[in-house]
Structure 1
Amino acid sequence: MPSLLQFTRCRVEDSVRDLLGKEISARVAETDLESDLDDAILAGIGAHALRRHLPGDILHRVQVFTATGSHALLLSNLPAQQFPPTPVSGFGDEAELAVTNAIHLGLIRLLECTPFAVRFENDGRLIRNVVPNPAASGTTSSWGADSEFFWHTDNPHQPFAPPGSDPRLYTPPYLTFYAVRNEERVPTEVAALDDVVVRLDARTRLGLMAPDFVVGAPDSNDGEATRSLSGAPVLETGPDGRHRARYDRGTTSGRTPEAQKTLDDWSAVLGTIPAAELVLDTGDFLIFDNYRVLHRRKAFTPRPATTARWLRRCYAS
């Protein structure tokens, strides 16, 4: 059975990359710009340069991504600045990353999305450093490394957002990443929910759509500031007629033995689905639909702290 994953891949030519890097570097050098305080300015700088220099076909693919119903988009070979050591504590100096942030936030603007943070994760900061934080050892968290992060969606304990809502109160519609370094060659795996649904038998599919599950917050969240979503389905049909899911194997449970059996069957099917293994390189930008895409990261051994794997993640709506 062929995969149903709709995945757009684009690569920027070296000459375009260099022009982008030169212009954005000159613009952000005029002042100190912080991602949490100056996100609109950084987005404006990045979007202006990207509109000027990206080839028309790539620019078009970015701009129509959210309207086409595609699952994921990868844009490679974007400018890379001089990077500081990996902030394995989870936090660093955002002003040092102004070029990277202008590119990241500029692309989110071109996607006609809004970047946002949530108060119960990452100290409420806009961009999360996905790094192997020693304090998260043994947890299935974006700050972990030694535990497999099985197929999941981010913040599944939140409801899905009605149109026009404040996205901070709901499951993030999109996840975006900029890759700083990945010398360990750790893949980020993505799979289309459609590829799961077509492999479910009717009983399991209907069982997943029943409000018989409890979904808790993942380890990356502040447990004192969150609460579980009880009486929720794992699988739904959204207003657009497409399936959407909420799931984290470590935090999702059935409220009845029948519901737990359905969840076990769902997990077994997840072990059989086709997936794209993306080894993100420096300067890669990835966006995917968090409602309709499951993602995972297997356990790995990080390099020394200063050069350990480092992705930058931002929610978008």
Structure 2
Amino acid sequence: MTSLLQFARYRVEDSARDLLRKEISARVSETSLDSDLDDAILGGIGAYALRRHLPGDILQGSQVFTAAGSHALLLSNLPTQDFPATPVSGFADESELAVTNAIHLGMIRLLGCTPFAVSYENDGRLIRNVVPNPAASGTTSSWGADSEFFWHSDNPHQPFGPPGSDPRLYAPPYLTFFAIRNEERIPTEVAALDDVVVRLDEETQTVLRAPEFEVGAPDSNDGDTIGPLVKTPVLETGPDGRHRARYDRGTTVGLTPAAQQALERWREVLLDIPAADLVLRPGDFMIFDNLRVLHRRKAFTPHPNTTARWLRRCYAA
């Protein structure tokens, strides 16, 4: 069966990359810019330079990404900078990452999206450092490494938001990543929800659409600030007519025997789902639809703290 994953992939030529680096570096050097305080300025600087130097096909593909209903987009070979040691504590000096933040936030703006943070995760900061934090050992968290992160969507314990609503109150529509280092070559895997649904029988789909499940908060959330979503479906049809789902193996449970059986069938299908296996490299930017794409990361042994795997993640709507 052919995969239904719609994945747009582009690569920036070295000449355009170098022009982007030169222009953005010059503009952000004029002052100290912080991603949490100056996100609009950083996004404006990045978007302006990206529009000037990216070729037309990349600009067009980025601008129609959300409207076209694609699942994911990868743009490789964007500019990098001199990076500090990997912040395995989870937090970095954002002023040292102004070039990276301008590119990351500029791409989000180019895609017609708005970056946002949530109060119950990451100390309310806009950009999360996806790093192997020793304090998260043994947890299925974006700060973990030694536990497999099975197929899931981010913050599935939140309701789906209606169009035009405040995204901070709902499950994030999009996840974006900028890769800083990944010398361990650990892949990020993404799979289309459509590929799951077509492998499920109608009876299982009907039960998954019933409000017979409970979905709790993932380990990455701060404390017990938000309770589980109770009596909710796993699978729904959104206002656009497309499938959307909420799921985390560690926090999703069936409340009835039929729901438990349907969830087991769902998990069986996920064991053999077609997926894109991506080893993100420095300068790679990726975005995917968090409601229509499941993603995972297998357990791995990180490099020493200073050079350990480091991705930057930002929610977008």
Question: Which category of TM-score, normalised to the shorter sequence, fits these structures?
Answer: over 0.9
Give 1:256 deviation, angstroms.
1.2
The superposition leaves residues 187-239 of structure 1 with CA deviations (integer Å, 9 ceiling, x where unpaired) of: 00000000000000111111100000000000000132111000100000001
Task: Specify the code of the residue in structure 1 equivalent to 2:289.
Answer: D
Aligned to 1:153: 153
Task: Specify the code of the residue in structure 1 equivalent to 2:229.
Answer: L
Matching of residues 36-55 of structure 1 within 5 Å: 36-55=36-55
The superposition leaves residues 145-185 of structure 1 with CA deviations (integer Å, 9 ceiling, x where unpaired) of: 00000000000000000111110000000000000000000
Aligned to 1:120: 120
Aligned to 1:30: 30
Answer yes or no: is the 8 Å Cα contact 1:217–1:223 preserved in 2. Answer: no
Matching of residues 1-317 of structure 1 within 5 Å: 1-317=1-317
Indicate the percent of aligned positions where both proteins have the same amino acid: 80
Please give the alpha-carbon distance, in whole angstroms, between the structure 1 residues aligned to 2:306 and 2:238. 43
Answer yes or no: is the 8 Å Cα contact 1:138–1:147 preserved in 2. Answer: yes
TM-score by length of 1: 1.00
Give 1:28 deviation, angstroms.
0.1
Task: Specify the code of the residue in structure 2 equivalent to 1:225.
Answer: T
Q: Structure 1 unaligned runs (5+)?
A: none
C-alpha root-mean-square deviation of aligned residues, in Å? 0.5
TM-score by length of 2: 1.00
The superposition leaves residues 29-84 of structure 1 with CA deviations (integer Å, 9 ceiling, x where unpaired) of: 00000000000000000000000000011111011100100000000000000000
How many residue pairs get aligned? The number is 317
**Structure 1 segments of 4 or more deviating over 2 A?**
none
Task: Specify the code of the residue in structure 2 equivalent to 1:55.
Answer: P
SS at match of 1:244: strand
Task: Specify the code of the residue in structure 2 equivalent to 1:212.
Answer: E
Please give the alpha-carbon distance, in whole angstroms, between the structure 1 residues aligned to 2:222 and 2:259. 27
Give 1:92 deviation, angstroms.
1.0
SS at match of 1:286: strand
Please give the alpha-carbon distance, in whole angstroms, between the structure 2 residues aligned to 1:75 and 1:186. 18
